[in-house]
Chains A and B, each alone.
Chain A
C-alpha cells in the first residue's frame, strides 16, 4: 500500500504544482493597494505627468523665460542590457553606447561639445576659448582657471583636486579604451594650483586632439566619493578589477542627473539633480559659430561668450526638467519597439535609429513625432593597396567611376541609404567640403562605363574582348554593354580573381546588395569578381590587426563601415584610417588598405600641429580631397537615422548629426515630458 501511495503522490506532482501556480496567480490578482501607494509616494513623481510647457524652460507658461520646475518621468527603452554601473569601467572595458546612455549624465569635464553645433564650451573651466599653451621648461603647459561654485549633488565643491585625482587614477591604474583618448601620452602630468586652477603639462606643443579635444574632455569624478575605494583597490590583488567592481549607484553628480537605481536586466533610473550648476542656463549659437551661455534665472551670475553675428542657429535652455528618466532594458530591438508601440515607453534609445522595417509600422500610429537625421558614420569599399591590381590608382578610379551610388541607394535600396563622397558628412557643416573628386557623379551609366574603361586603357590594361557600351546612330548609349574578357594588367599578367568580402544580408542587407552591384560592374569591366558575403568578424579578422606581411595579402577588397568619430575634430579619424604609422601590419592600426602617401602624411602632421580651428578645418578639407583622389577607400553611403517619440515628449533639439539618440547627454537634462 505504501508503494501505491508514493506513486500516487508522484502522479499528482503536476497537479500540485498547478495548484501552487494558481495560488500564486490568485495572489497576483488580488487587490493591490500597497502597490499603488508605493507608486504614488515615489520620491520623484509618479507616472508621466504634466511637467512642462513645451517652450523649453519648463516653467509651464510657455514663454521661454526659464526658471522651470522639475517633474514627470521620461520612460525610455534600451535595446541591450546595461552591463555596469561603474563609470570607470564604462569608459574602459564596458564602453557600450547603452552604458553611456545611462551613465553619461553625471560627470563634468573642463569643456564639452555644444549640441547640435559641436563647439567647445566650458563646463568646469571658467574661460572660453581654452587658454593658449605656453612653453614651459622642456615642454609646454597651460593653466586653466576653474569655476568656483559648481558642486556635486551631495554639496561638495567640484574643484581642481577632482580633476587631478581622476587623471592620476587613470594613469596609475592604466585604464584603457576611452580613458586613453582623453589622457593622451603627450600630457605628462596635471597639477592643482589651489582649488580653482589646474595646470596641464605637455611633452610637446599639443594640437587640438591632444589639448582642446583631448585632456579638456576628460570626465571628472568626485574624489571624496572614490578616494576610499581607490585606496582599497590599490591594496588589493587586482586593483583595476576591485575599482571596477564598486557600484556607482548614488555617486554624487555634477551633471543634470544622478544615477539612482539599477535593477539588473530590468531597468535603470536617473533622477534630476536639482542643484545642477547650469540649470536654466540658455545656450545660443549664432550663424558665425559664436555662442553665448547665459543664465536668465540669475541663479548663476556668470556669462560666457559673446553674442554673435547673424541668425541664431540653435538655442535651448538647460534643465533638468523631468524628475526621473527610466531606462528599461529589453532583450532585443523587436521587444523594445513593441513596448514603444504599446505605449509602455516614450522613446527607444537605438543607436542606429528605427530599423527600416519598423518605420512604416510606427508611422501608422497616432501621437508619434519623427525626426530623420544624417548619420556620422559611413560604409566604404576598401582596397588592399599592397597587391596588384588594387595598388594601381587607375584600377581604383575605374571602380570609382562605375559604382553608381545614386542608382543603388535610390533605385535599388529605395532611399534607405544616402550616397556620399567624403568621410565627413555634409551635415557637419563647418568641417564638410564639397570640393572632393566625385568620380562619375552626374554621368549616365554608359558614360561612367566608358570613362572607367578609358582610365584602364590609359593605364595599360588590355582585354581579349574589350568592354564596350553600345551607342546608337546618334551617339547615345543604348544601355547594351559588352563585358570585358581576358583582362590583363599593364605588367602583362592576367588580372586575378578579385574577392570582395562583405557582411551577409542577414547582418547588413544594404552592404550586401551594394556589393552585388559592385561585383556586376567589376565583371562588366572584365575583372573576375568573387563577391563573398561572410561574417562580420571574418572580415575583421582578415583585414584588421594583428596581421603579418603574408596574412595581409590574403584579402583584396572588403566592405565595412565606421560609426561616428569626433564631430568636432573629424579628421582625427582620417589619420587613424590612412596614416602610414597606422598601417595594419607595421603599425598595428586601422590603416587596413596600407595607404602611404607623402602628401597625406604632410597634411596629417600639419593637422596634428594645428592649434586653431580654422587651420584645422582647412587641412581637414585637403585631407578629404587627398583620400577622394587616391581612393584607398571608396566612400559609398550612409544611412539616415530615424527617431520617433511620443508627442508628450519635447526634445531641446531634433535636428542633429547622428540623430537624437546619438547625444543623450545633450538632451537628458533638457527633455520635457508633458501630459
Chain B
C-alpha cells in the first residue's frame, strides 16, 4: 500500500507540473496582457512598458515560463497584478474560507438529500413518489442555473424578503466590526467542524451499549450535549452577530446550490441501490426476516455508498474552485469570483494560482479515493 501511495505521489507531482505548464501557456495565449488596461491618453504610452517590465511581461515567453516554474518550485506563486503587491497566496488565502464555507455546506446538504432520496427511490421503485421526485430532481439538475439562481433570489429575497439579495454580509452592520470577515468565517468553520466531530463521537459512542435504551440515551444525550456546547460557545461570543449575518446571507446560495446538485447524487444512489438490491445477500436478509428499514439502510445502502463516496470526495476537491456562476450571481467574493476577475483582467498569476489549487486538490482527492476504496471495499487490493 505504501509503495502504491509513493508511486502515486510521484505521478501526481509530475502531472501537477504538466498541468501548471499547460495552465501557463493557455492563459498566456490570450490576446493582450495586463498592461492593456493602461491605454489612456492621459498617461504617457511608455507607461505600458514600465508596467510590463515590472511584472516581467516584457521577457520572452519561454523565459517567463522558466522563471515562473522556478519560483513555483520554491513555493512562490508570484504577486497579483491586479492587487499588487499582494502575493497570490495571500489573495487566495483571503478568498478560500468564504468559498470553503459556502460550498462545503451546500455540498454536504446536497449529498445528504441526494443520498437519502436516492435510497428511498430505489426501495420504493415504481410508485408515483419515485416518478415525481425523479422528475423534479432531473428538472432541477438540468435547469439553466444562472436563471434558476436569479429566480431563487427574486422569490426568496425580493418577493418574500426572507433573505438578503446577495453579498455575504451587511455593510451597515459590519462597518464598526472589530475584526475581519475572514476571522468570523474561520471561527464558523472551526466550530462547525468541532460540532461535527462531537456529533460523530456521540453517535459512535451510542453503538457501544448493548441496551437499546442506553444506546438512545447516549446518542441523544451526546447530540444534545454537543449542540449545547456549540450554542454555549456562540451565544456569548463577540462574533455571534457577525456570524449570524454571514449565515443569513449564506442560506439562499446554499439552498440554491443544494437544490441543483442533489439530483445528481440522488440518481447515482438510486442506480447503485437498484444494483445492490438484486444481490443474493439482500434476498438472504429478507429471508432472515430482517426489518425492511434494516435491509435498506444497513445492507443495501451501505454497499451503494461506494460510487457516492467517490463522487463526494472528488466533488470536495472542486469545492475550492468555487462556482463562477454562484459566486457571481450571489456576489459572494470567493475563489470562483476571483478566478473570473483574474482571467478577465489578465491577472495571470492569480488565475494560475486559483486553478493550480483546484488541480492539486483534485489530484489529492483522487489518491484519497483510491486509498478509501481499500477500506470501503475489502475486495480491492493495490499491487
Does residue A562 face the partner (Cβ distance < 8 Å to B)? yes
- On chain A, the residues within 8 Å of B85 by CB distance are 89, 238, 240-242, 244-245
Partner of A16, one of B86, B196, B340: B196
- On chain B, the residues within 8 Å of A134 by CB distance are none
Known contacts A34-B240, A576-B45; A342/B157 CB under 8 A: yes
Docked complex Cα distance between A13 and B108 (Å): 8
Q: Are A572 and B41 in contact (CB under 8 A)?
A: yes
Q: Are A342 and B158 in contact (CB under 8 A)?
A: yes
Does residue B155 face the partner (Cβ distance < 8 Å to A)? no
A7, A26, A266, A536 pick with most chain B CB within 10 angstroms: A266
Q: Which of A526-574 contact B (CB under 8 A)?
A: 535-538, 540-541, 544-545, 562-563, 565-566, 572-573
Q: Are A176 and B41 in contact (CB under 8 A)?
A: no
Q: Are B166 and A338 in contact (CB under 8 A)?
A: yes
Closest Cβ neighbor of A84 among chain B residues: B83
- On chain B, the residues within 8 Å of A174 by CB distance are 50
Q: Are B333 and A181 in contact (CB under 8 A)?
A: no
Partner of B41, one of A39, A46, A332, A573: A573
Could you tell me the distance in whole angstroms from the C-beta of B92 to the nearest C-beta in chain A? 12
Closest Cβ neighbor of B153 among chain A residues: A338
Which of B20-28, B133-141, B169-177, B279-287 binds A?
A: B169-177
Docked complex Cα distance between A266 and B332 (Å): 9
Tell me whether chain B's interface is mostly helix, strand or loop, or mixed: helix
Complex interface bits, A293-323 against B, C-beta within 8 A gives 1, otherwise 0: 0000000000000000000000000000000
- On chain B, the residues within 8 Å of A12 by CB distance are 200, 203
Docked complex Cα distance between A13 and B181 (Å): 28
Known contacts A266-B169, A334-B329; A8/B45 CB under 8 A: no
Q: Are B181 and A263 in contact (CB under 8 A)?
A: yes
Does residue B247 face the partner (Cβ distance < 8 Å to A)? yes
- On chain A, the residues within 8 Å of B47 by CB distance are 176-177, 180
- On chain A, the residues within 8 Å of B240 by CB distance are 27, 34
Partner of A545, one of B45, B86, B172: B45
- On chain B, the residues within 8 Å of A587 by CB distance are 45
Which of B122-130, B227-235, B359-367 binds A?
A: B227-235
- On chain A, the residues within 8 Å of B302 by CB distance are 7-8, 11
Q: Are B244 and A35 in contact (CB under 8 A)?
A: yes
Q: Are B174 and A5 in contact (CB under 8 A)?
A: no
Q: Are B244 and A576 in contact (CB under 8 A)?
A: no
Q: Which of A8-60 contact B (CB under 8 A)?
A: 8-21, 23-30, 32, 34-35, 38-39, 41-44, 46-47
Which of A73-81, A152-160, A164-172, A512-520 binds B?
A: A73-81
Does residue B270 face the partner (Cβ distance < 8 Å to A)? no
Does residue B241 face the partner (Cβ distance < 8 Å to A)? yes
Q: Are B333 and A577 in contact (CB under 8 A)?
A: no
Docked complex Cα distance between A563 and B42 (Å): 10
B79, B199, B235 pick with most chain A CB within 10 angstroms: B199
Q: Which of A323-356 contact B (CB under 8 A)?
A: 324, 326, 328-332, 334-336, 338-339, 341-342, 344
Does residue B216 face the partner (Cβ distance < 8 Å to A)? no
- On chain B, the residues within 8 Å of A336 by CB distance are 331
Q: Are A17 and B42 in contact (CB under 8 A)?
A: no
Does residue A83 face the partner (Cβ distance < 8 Å to B)? yes
Does residue A226 face the partner (Cβ distance < 8 Å to B)? no
Does residue A422 face the partner (Cβ distance < 8 Å to B)? no
Q: Are B43 and A181 in contact (CB under 8 A)?
A: yes
Q: Are A590 and B204 in contact (CB under 8 A)?
A: no
Could you tell me the distance in whole angstroms from the C-beta of A533 to the nearest C-beta in chain B? 14
- On chain B, the residues within 8 Å of A96 by CB distance are 37
- On chain A, the residues within 8 Å of B111 by CB distance are 14
Q: Are B42 and A181 in contact (CB under 8 A)?
A: yes
Closest Cβ neighbor of A180 among chain B residues: B44
Could you tell me the distance in whole angstroms from the C-beta of A465 to the nearest C-beta in chain B? 38
Range, interface on chain B:
35 or more
- On chain B, the residues within 8 Å of A344 by CB distance are 164-165
B108, B167, B231 pick with most chain A CB within 10 angstroms: B167
Docked complex Cα distance between A10 and B373 (Å): 13
Q: Are B167 and A328 in contact (CB under 8 A)?
A: yes
Q: Are A27 and B45 in contact (CB under 8 A)?
A: no
Could you tell me the distance in whole angstroms from the C-beta of B96 to the nearest C-beta in chain A? 12
Q: Which of A231-284 contact B (CB under 8 A)?
A: 238, 240-242, 244-245, 260-261, 263-267, 269
- On chain B, the residues within 8 Å of A565 by CB distance are 41-42
Could you tell me the distance in whole angstroms from the C-beta of A44 to the nearest C-beta in chain B? 8
- On chain B, the residues within 8 Å of A467 by CB distance are none
Docked complex Cα distance between A119 and B51 (Å): 32
Could you tell me the distance in whole angstroms from the C-beta of B327 to the nearest C-beta in chain A? 6
Known contacts A17-B108, A535-B31; A89/B84 CB under 8 A: yes
Does residue A589 face the partner (Cβ distance < 8 Å to B)? yes
- On chain B, the residues within 8 Å of A538 by CB distance are 31-32
Could you tell me the distance in whole angstroms from the C-beta of A673 to the nearest C-beta in chain B? 13
Q: Are A28 and B333 in contact (CB under 8 A)?
A: no
Docked complex Cα distance between A629 and B317 (Å): 61
Q: Are A265 and B94 in contact (CB under 8 A)?
A: yes
Does residue A93 face the partner (Cβ distance < 8 Å to B)? yes
Q: Are A20 and B42 in contact (CB under 8 A)?
A: no
Known contacts A18-B109, A269-B171, A544-B39; A588/B49 CB under 8 A: yes
Does residue A178 face the partner (Cβ distance < 8 Å to B)? yes
Does residue B115 face the partner (Cβ distance < 8 Å to A)? yes
- On chain A, the residues within 8 Å of B376 by CB distance are 7, 10
Q: Are A8 and B31 in contact (CB under 8 A)?
A: no
Q: Are B41 and A9 in contact (CB under 8 A)?
A: no
Docked complex Cα distance between A26 and B243 (Å): 12
Could you tell me the distance in whole angstroms from the C-beta of A175 to the nearest C-beta in chain B? 10
Q: Which of B152-192 contact A (CB under 8 A)?
A: 153, 157-158, 164-169, 171-177, 180-181, 188, 192
A26, A34, A541 pick with most chain B CB within 10 angstroms: A34
- On chain B, the residues within 8 Å of A536 by CB distance are 32
B44, B180, B230, B241 pick with most chain A CB within 10 angstroms: B44
Does residue A596 face the partner (Cβ distance < 8 Å to B)? no
Docked complex Cα distance between A357 and B131 (Å): 40
- On chain B, the residues within 8 Å of A35 by CB distance are 173, 241-242, 244-245
Q: Are B200 and A181 in contact (CB under 8 A)?
A: no
Docked complex Cα distance between A34 and B45 (Å): 54
Known contacts A35-B244, A324-B175, A540-B32; A335/B235 CB under 8 A: no
Does residue A611 face the partner (Cβ distance < 8 Å to B)? no
Known contacts A177-B47, A265-B94, A565-B42; A16/B181 CB under 8 A: no
A24, A81, A576 pick with most chain B CB within 10 angstroms: A24
Q: Are A590 and B45 in contact (CB under 8 A)?
A: yes
Known contacts A14-B108, A73-B172, A80-B341; A27/B231 CB under 8 A: yes
Does residue A586 face the partner (Cβ distance < 8 Å to B)? no
Q: Are B305 and A330 in contact (CB under 8 A)?
A: no
Chain B residues proximal to chain A, CB less than 8 Å? 30-32, 36-51, 54, 79, 81-86, 94-95, 98, 104-105, 108-109, 111-112, 115, 153, 157-158, 164-169, 171-177, 180-181, 188, 192, 195-196, 199-200, 203-204, 207, 223, 227, 230-231, 234-235, 240-245, 247-248, 251, 254, 298, 301-302, 305, 309, 327-333, 337, 340-341, 376
Q: Which 9 A-B pairs have the closest CB atoms?
A: A537-B32, A265-B333, A14-B112, A28-B247, A35-B241, A17-B108, A241-B85, A537-B31, A335-B331
26 cross-chain CB contacts under 8 A:
A7-B305, A7-B376, A10-B305, A17-B196, A27-B231, A27-B235, A29-B244, A32-B244, A34-B240, A38-B177, A83-B83, A93-B81, A176-B50, A263-B171, A265-B333, A266-B333, A269-B171, A329-B331, A330-B331, A331-B340, A332-B331, A335-B166, A335-B167, A335-B328, A537-B30, A545-B45
